[in-house]
Amino acid sequence: MSVFFLMFVCTTVPQKWCRYVGVGELEEVQLFYYFIESERSPKDDPLLLWLSGGPGCSALYGLLFEIGPLQFDYSNSSGNKPVLKLNPYSWTKIANIIFLDAPVGTGFSYATTGTAYDNSDTSSAAQTYEFLRKWLMAHPKFLTNPLYITGDSYSGVIVPIIVKEVYDGNEAGREPPMNLKCLEKIYPGHILEPKCSLISPNHTRLKWNRIILEENIMDVVSVPQQSRPWCRSYNYLYSYIWANDRNVREALHIREGTKPEWDRCNYSLSYTKDILNSAVYHRYLSKTSLRALIYSGDHDLAIPYIGTLDWIRSLNLTLLGSWSPWFVEGQVAGYSILYSENSKYDLTYTTIKGGGHTAPEYKPKECFAMVDRWFSYYPL
C-alpha cells in the first residue's frame, strides 16, 4: 500500500513540498503545510492559501476530497489498501496552492508547550499571517504572484480577518510586501444524504490506532451492504489509513513524536470563537480595491445560501445587476450576483447548483470552471 502511494505521489503531481513553519515569539507553534505548484505556469499563476473548516479540520481534507491533484479511487480501493487517482478538476491546474493545517492542533500542526495550544479566531488569523510572511520570505519567487486567501466552511470566518492582517501589513510597510488581490470563501453534512446522520461514522469511531491499521480495515468498519444507504462520510475512512501510514508520514516529513495520530477533524481543540460576526471585516475590506468571491452550495442546509445573502446585503454595497445563471457545458451551474463599492471593490456571490456543504466535493467540474473564470476576470 505505502510503496504504491509514494510512487504515485512522486511521479504524477507537480512540484510539491511539505514542511513546518514556526510562529510565535519562540516559534512554539509549528504549522504544517502542503505546497503544490501550478501545473500551468507557477511563476505567473495565482498563489492560494487554503484553510479547511472546523475549526480543526485538516487541509488534507481540501487536498484529497475537494481541490487538490489527487483523490481516492473508491471503485478500486478495498480494505486497508486505498488507491489514489488524479483529479481532473484540481485547482492546481491553474494555481499554486498552500494547504495549511491551522489553527495549531489541526492535522499535523503542533505546539511545543501546552499553553501554545490555546487559540482563537483572532490569534489563529494572526499566526496565519505570520506564517505567510515567513513562507514568502523563504520562497521569494512567489512574491509577485497574485495572492488569494481561500477557505471553506468555518474558515469563512477566519479568511476576512487574515485578509485584513495582510492588507494592514502592506499599508504599514511590513516585509515582505504581498500581492494581495482578494479573498475567496464558501459558506457551505449530510444534506444530500439526509438519512446518514444516524448511521454515518462519527468523529470518535473514525479515530484509528496502530493496531486497527494493521488489521483488515473492512473487518473493522465495513460499509453496510443491506438496505442502509451509502453515505459520503464512509469515503473519509481512507484518509485515516493514508495519513497514519508510517511510510506516508515519513514522505511528508512528519516529525516523530509530535502527532501520534492524524485526525481529519480535531474537535478537542482549546479554541475560543471570539469573532461572532465577520461582517465588520467585510465592511472594512469593502473600502479597499480588493475583490471577493463568495460561493455556497444551494443544497447546503448547514449554512444556507439565503443566510449568506442576508449578511452580504447588510454591507449596503451597490448592486450591479440581478441574479444571472452561469453555465458549464450548456447546463446551469449556479446563479451569481455582483456588488461593488466606490468603483474599486467588487464582490461576486454565486450559488453552486446541487452543491452541498463543501461545494467542490459535490460539484468539482462546476467549481473549477467558476474559479478559472474568476481568476481570469471573466464573467461566470
Residue 54 lies in a domain: yes
The residue from 152, 263, 298, 300 that is catalytic is: 300
- Is 375 inside a domain boundary? no
Average pLDDT value over all residues in the chain: 85
CA 317, CA 312: separation in Å to the nearest integer?
8
Question: What is the DSSP pairing of strand 291-297 with strand 271-272?
Answer: unpaired
| pLDDT of res. 78 | 74
**Do the domain assignments include residue 99?**
yes
- Of 52, 153, 200, 239, which is the active-site residue? 153
Q: Residue 121: which residues within 8 A CB-CB, separation 6 or more?
A: 55, 157, 158, 161, 272, 273, 274, 275
- Look up residue 350 and give its amino acid: T
Exactly one of 190, 282, 299, 357 is catalytic; name it. 357
Answer whether residue 56 is part of any domain: yes
To the query of whether residue 357 is one of the catalytic residues in this protein, the response is yes
Domain that holds residue 65: 2-191+271-278
Please indicate, yes or no, if residue 169 is contained in any of the structural domains: yes
- Which residue reads 446551469 in cell numbers? 332
- pLDDT of 99 above 70: yes
pLDDT tens-digit series, residues 227-268 = 455 566 667 888 899 899 998 999 899 999 999 999 999 999
Query: Is 298 part of any domain?
Result: no
Residue 258 in any domain: the answer is no
Q: Which pLDDT value is given to residue 75?
A: 80
Domain tally for the chain?
A: 1
The Cα angle at residue 301 between residues 300 and 302, in degrees rounded to 5: 95
Q: Is residue 19 in a domain?
A: yes
14 contacts: CB under 8 Å, gap ≥ 6: 36, 37, 38, 39, 42, 69, 92
What is the CATH number for 111? 3.40.50.1820
- Note the pLDDT tens digit of each residue in 152-175: 888 888 999 999 999 999 999 999
Does the annotation count 44 as an active-site position? no
Catalytic annotation on 300?
A: yes
* Model pLDDT for residues 184-238, shown as the tens digit of each residue: 665 443 334 344 433 344 444 444 333 333 344 334 344 444 445 556 666 788 8
